[in-house]
Amino acid sequence: MLAHGRASLLTMNTLESFTPSIRIAVVGASGGIGTALVQLFSQHPRVAMVYALSRTPCSVVSPKVTHGKLDMTDEESIASCAAMASSESPLDIVVIATGILWSGETLKPEKSMREFDAEKLSQVLAINAVGPAMVAKHFLPKLRKNSKTVLAALSARVGSIGDNRLGGWYSYRASKAALNMLLKTLAIEQARLWPQSIVVGLHPGTVDTGLSRPYSKSTPAEKLFSPETSAGHLVTVLDNVCQEDSGGVFAWDGKRIEN
Ligand SMILES: NC(=O)c1ccc[n+]([C@@H]2O[C@H](COP(=O)([O-])OP(=O)(O)OC[C@H]3O[C@@H](n4cnc5c(N)ncnc54)[C@H](OP(=O)(O)O)[C@@H]3O)[C@@H](O)[C@H]2O)c1
């Protein structure tokens, strides 16, 4: 559980733990959860600006949303988006909502070791672990220094080594476990530099998006979140995390997930 407070439903007072005029970057703003986060943040009265950064354009149109093109495999695009998003004022929140589980007919989560392939593991690691680390490299220096800030990356419960009871999905599991280690290590460095800087991983629940759809058919309806429901929970978790939580991975309900 989070050190302070429980996850609860989103209210007008949510996000009060941040400065009153919040500036946010959402990386992966074209995805199911990313789009819902941009929408939700941009409608919140405490949010001044949302930078919707993505490879494919994000569909949200609002005077409080600025769009930028970012490819997780292109460090230059990450650096230039970080510069653009912080050109007027430092950022308060960065959410990395990119990720890959499958792609077309060629990349699928492995059912057994027979399907394991080094190239495919590299492809998944590049998007799910290396990309978020590059985002952290360029965006952490752009965060506000004198109040609470959060850099959060969407991880997944299946990245937990302790929680792995079913096996399978070698590349995806390994990429999220690597992501969790990168986040923990970043949290240690940030705590030395800027004690109010928090770095966490977030598990959004099972969410009805393009990423999960081929694999969520057996999920009971009450356990399958819409992107909007998941985004609401995640924003509440971002509001409730504090310094003692930095380096941890938290589920949509605020419960800590073991590494
Ligand atoms: N959905 C779930 O049930 C679930 C459960 C646990 C964890 N998660 C995690 O939640 C995160 C978001 O997933 P989602 O469900 O919202 O999936 P999604 O709808 O498929 O969105 C994935 C996002 O990743 C972006 N992306 C992929 N490769 C990229 C690249 N090279 N450069 C830039 N962006 C790239 C996609 O951009 P394009 O639009 O350009 O392709 C898209 O914005 C992922 O990290 C996923 O692992 C999801």
Give residue 70's pLDDT.
98
Tell which wins on pLDDT, 104 or 5: 104
Instruction: Calculate the average pLDDT of the chain.
Output: 95
8-state DSSP, 51: E
216-248 pLDDT, tens digit per residue, is 999 999 999 999 999 999 999 999 999 999 999
Q: Would you give the distance in Å from CA 206 to the centre of its chain?
A: 14
> In this model, does residue 5 exceed pLDDT 70?
no
9-35 pLDDT, tens digit per residue, is 567 788 999 999 999 999 999 999 999
Tokens describing residue 190: 């940030």
Regarding the domain with residue range 22-257, which homologous superfamily does it belong to in the CATH classification? NAD(P)-binding Rossmann-like Domain (3.40.50.720)
Residue 5 to residue 235: CA distance in whole angstroms: 14
Q: Whose CA is nearest to atom 12 of ligand 1?
A: 97
The fraction of the chain above a pLDDT of 90, given in percent, is: 94
Q: What angle do CA 98, 93, 205 make, to 5 degrees?
A: 45
> In this model, does residue 52 exceed pLDDT 60?
yes
Q: Whose CA is nearest to atom 8 of ligand 1?
A: 156
- pLDDT band per the 50, 70, 90 thresholds, residue 3: low
- pLDDT band per the 50, 70, 90 thresholds, residue 67: very high
Give residue 11's pLDDT.
73
Q: Whose CA is nearest to atom 20 of ligand 1?
A: 211
Give residue 124's pLDDT.
98
122: left (phi over 0), alpha (psi -120 to 50) or beta: alpha
CA of 159 to the centre of ligand 1 (A): 15
Sketch the domain layout of the chain as residue ranges. Answer: 22-257
Ligand 1 near 103 CB (within 6 A): no
CB-based burial label for 149 (10 Å; 0-12, 13-18, 19+): buried
Residue 150 to residue 2: CA distance in whole angstroms: 14
User: What average pLDDT score do residues 117-129 get?
Assistant: 98
